[in-house]
Structure formats: structure tokens, C-alpha cells
Amino acid sequence: MDDCPKDAVGNAFRLLKSEGGREGESTILLVAANQADVKTLPHAKLNRQCRQQDATGCNTGKTIYMLAGQSEVDNATRLTHEATHFFGEPYTTVEEPLAWRRALTVWRRFDAALPAASMAGSWYKQWSDACRSGASAPNYCP
């Protein structure tokens, strides 16, 4: 962790280390083991890089791309999601639900441990709420 930059990405890794539990620790290990680079991009560039209309992040195998300007909570949660894709073939019907479950597990740890102001506006809140209400597919929920 000493080599983490003093920026939004470094803060996300420090948050994973301090509050991410087992999933946070494994996210750090997966990124390190794959010698992955992590980059943040403005929305238009992220959409092009990820080949999506409304991207929040993607993994190209060696680089995790995330939306610039997000909170450290959302960055840490997205890192967990995208690092999960290092387990195997990305974006499969098996792996994508696993990535969501791991990310939401970490997000809920943050939600329980951090002040409400830290969680305000989190992109993942809508997914967590959908899982809790039963509105989301169960295989995507922890």
C-alpha cells in the first residue's frame, strides 16, 4: 500500500484495505497479481474505451478503467467489481453476477462503517437497494 498514489485511485485502495474485509483484500491481491493498471477517464472516453453507452468501468485484462470524478467509495466498489473479472473470462453469465455480488458486499461494508455523508450519492446505492427490495435478479445480490 505504500506505493499507492495520493489520488482517488490510491484512496480507493486504502479504503479497500481498511474497510473492505475479505473481498477488499482479495481485490488488492488480484490487481497486484495481474500487474493491472488502473485509470480513470471522463465519461465520453470511458464509453469509447469500454464500448458501452453509459459505462461506469471495465476491465481489458491488464487495465481497469473507471469513471473519473467518482467518490473513493464508488471507486473502491468498482475496483472490486472489475478485479473479479481477473478470475476468468470477463462478462460471462457466471462471472458478471459474481462481480456484482462481491462489489455489493464491499459496498455494504462501507455503508455500515462509514459516515452517511461518505455514502451520499453513491452509484451503487441503487443496486444495493434493488437487491434488498427483491427488485434485482437474486444471482446479482450478496
Between 17-21, 68-72, 132-136, the lowest mean confidence (pLDDT) is in: 132-136
pLDDT per position as a tens digit, 77-133: 999 999 988 876 666 677 888 899 999 999 999 999 998 877 777 778 887 888 888
The H-assigned helical ranges of the chain are 8-19, 21-33, 43-50, 72-84, 95-113, 116-119, 125-133
pLDDT per position as a tens digit, 5-52: 788 899 999 999 999 999 999 999 989 988 889 999 999 999 999 998
Q: Confirm if 66 and 99 have CB atoms less than 8 A apart.
A: no
* Predicted pLDDT of residue 134: 85
Q: Could you tell me which residues come within 8 angstroms of residue 26 by beta carbon, excluding any fewer than 6 positions away?
A: 83
Asked if pLDDT for residue 2 goes beyond 70, the answer is no
Residue the block writes with cell 471495465: 58
Tell me, yes or no, if the pTM score tops 0.85.
yes
Helix axes 95-113, 125-133, angle to 10 degrees: 100
Q: Among 62, 15, 70, which Cα is nearest to 40's?
A: 70
* Predicted pLDDT of residue 125: 83
- Count the alpha carbons within 13 Å of 14 in the hemisphere toward its beta carbon: 12
Q: Is the dihedral of CA 6, 22, 125, 61 positive or negative?
A: positive
How far apart, in whole angstroms, are the C-alpha atoms of residue 137 and residue 64? Answer: 25
Backbone angles phi, psi at 119, to 5 degrees: -95, -10
Which has more pLDDT, 66 or 130?
66
Q: What is the DSSP letter of 87?
A: G
